[in-house]
Structure 1
């Protein structure tokens, strides 16, 4: 993940229940928790979702039939990407996430807004890296975008790395 990308995890809205707390909020690892449990009861039109993503971000030249990837052009500051992992029989989504390149305003107004529209249409909600849940509305996730490491880096890259270095040395002393 590039430092200028903002990541959101997509899950069906009706899958969020009491399990959410133990899956996301109590995750003590450095990795994102598995989200396949959120997709167990999803019966939406997977080919339609894939087709719509194809219209938003170009399909990447890697992956396979169950690990689908999309990738924008990093050279044009359009380093947006998405990934959907399907079950072996391709009948279920196991995970869905995307990253938006915050270096260019059109990535937010065009790409992010288009993905949010896809999410609204399919009754999906979004989860950021801190485990906060958002409706697929730009206004709802804007606070998270502003507080993200990607925004901190873009606003002041030198300070971002100084803070990172300080945090690393503080952890070493502890």
Structure 2
């Protein structure tokens, strides 16, 4: 993952509402099972979502990567000297349903076009987004911006040296 890419997992909203009766701000480790509640594959398993229409929609947004694609793994990638966006969708071989969906949006992109397109898909398919710190956000640019400004990708774009300095061992304590 490039330092300027903002990662988001995609989760079916209906499953979160069924489990929590609301959309929580964050999903964390379960104290009962020690398993991460943020393991998004379990939500897709419950949702039993056919991938066909979603794959077709993402095909309209990004070209397929020239590696790793088959009927169970879909990888989209565009990388130029100005933009680096990608998405990954895994289909369960046994059930044929979506098992995992995520994407990385390049924060350097003009008007964050790919991110905005994924927000539109999230509205259409009723998804929720989860960042790498397990924070949840509705498909709303204002909610997602709150996550972006806390991300290392944002910090890297705005002050790469400070981010690198903050990661030095003497600064981690």
TM-score w.r.t. length of structure 1: 0.83
Structure 2 CA distance for aligned equivalents of residues 105 and 25 of structure 1: 33
2:18 is the counterpart of 1:13: no
The residue number in structure 1 matching 2:33 is none
2:124 is the counterpart of 1:121: yes
Question: Cα–Cα, structure 1 residues 52 and 142, in superposed 2: closer, same or farther, change >3 Å?
Answer: same
Q: Secondary structure of 1:52's partner?
A: helix
Match of 1:70 among 54, 76, 85: 76
- What's the CA shift for 1:90? 6.0
The residue number in structure 1 matching 2:96 is 91
- What's the CA shift for 1:104? 2.2
* 8 Å contact from structure 2 (residues 50, 96) kept in 1: no
| Structure 1: unaligned runs, 5 residues or longer | none
Q: Secondary structure of 1:111's partner?
A: helix
| Structure 2: unaligned runs, 5 residues or longer | 31-35
Query: Which portions of structure 1, spanning 4 or more consecutive aligned residues, are displaced by more than 6 angstroms?
Result: none
In the TM superposition, 1:10-159 aligns within 5 A as: 10-16=10-16, 17-18=19-20, 24-26=27-29, 34-63=39-68, 64-73=70-79, 75-89=80-94, 91-106=96-111, 108=112, 110-159=113-162
Q: How many residues are treated as equivalent by the alignment?
A: 163
Structure 2 CA distance for aligned equivalents of residues 170 and 57 of structure 1: 39
* 8 Å contact from structure 1 (residues 77, 101) kept in 2: no
Root-mean-square deviation (CA, aligned residues, Å) is 2.5
Structure 2 CA distance for aligned equivalents of residues 136 and 4 of structure 1: 21
* 8 Å contact from structure 1 (residues 127, 133) kept in 2: yes
Q: Secondary structure of 1:76's partner?
A: coil
- What's the CA shift for 1:170? 4.9
